[in-house]
Amino acid sequence: MSTTGSHLHHVGVVVPSEQQARDMMRLLGLREAERGFVEQYRSLCVFTEGKGSSPIEFVIPDGGPLTEFNRGIGGLHHVALEVDSLAELTAELGAQGISLLESEPVRGAGQFMCNFLDPVYTRGLIVEFVEPLRQQTPS
């Protein structure tokens, strides 16, 4: 599978409010790197600086099913693995009868596209697959 040898891109944590995300960043000594609103999941996503390691993504739902995650308390939500190609991964998984949650990759809050493995395949762990968007160099 295309995920062989892939590295952890980020860990997603759902928090009920932006204030709680700020409090947690302060507590853990983390700094914000970038943020964006993902309409598909009706969530503000705040990425911390990685400093050479994998960042944390704070997911702050603004309505939608994620507000009910862990009975509204939030918590560790997903691990994201970086892959070279979501299209190749989708084809490989499809050949094994495994489909991803979204019919098409979703633009993430950062410079990447993403899709999710249905948690029934892991019996609980939500795995996000991330394909970084490569910056086109002028020819």
Partner 1 sequence: MIAEVLDRPVQEIPDDASATTLEGWDSLRHLELMLALEAEFEIRIPTAAMRDLGSVEQIDEYLRAHEEELGT
- In angstroms, the CA 119 to CA 124 distance is 5
Contact 100, 129 (CB under 8 A): yes
Q: How far apart are CA 49 and CA 62, in angstroms?
A: 23
Q: Which is nearer to partner 1, 30 or 117 (CB)?
A: 117
Looking at 52, 95, 123, 134, which residue binds partner 1 (CB under 8 A)?
Answer: 123
The correct pick among 65, 103, 134, 138 for binding partner 1 (CB under 8 A) is: 65
Question: Among the candidate windows 25-33, 47-55, 96-104, 131-139, which touches partner 1 by CB under 8 A?
Answer: 96-104
Decide whether 50 or 72 has the Cβ nearer to partner 1: 72
Binds partner 1 by CB under 8 A, chosen from 5, 29, 52, 124: 124
Query: For residue 117, what are the β-bridge partners?
Result: 100, 127
Bridge-based pairing state of the strands 75-82 and 126-132: parallel
- Cα atoms in the Cβ-side hemisphere of radius 13 Å centred on 79: 9
Nearer to partner 1 (CB atom), residue 39 or residue 118: 118
Contact between 126 and partner 1 per CB under 8 A = yes
38 scored as a contact of partner 1 (CB under 8 A): no
Q: Chain centroid to CA 49: how far?
A: 15
List, in order, residues 6 or more apart from 124 with CB less than 8 Å away: none
Give the footprint of partner 1 on this chain (CB under 8 A).
65, 68-69, 71, 97, 99, 101, 116, 118-121, 123-124, 126
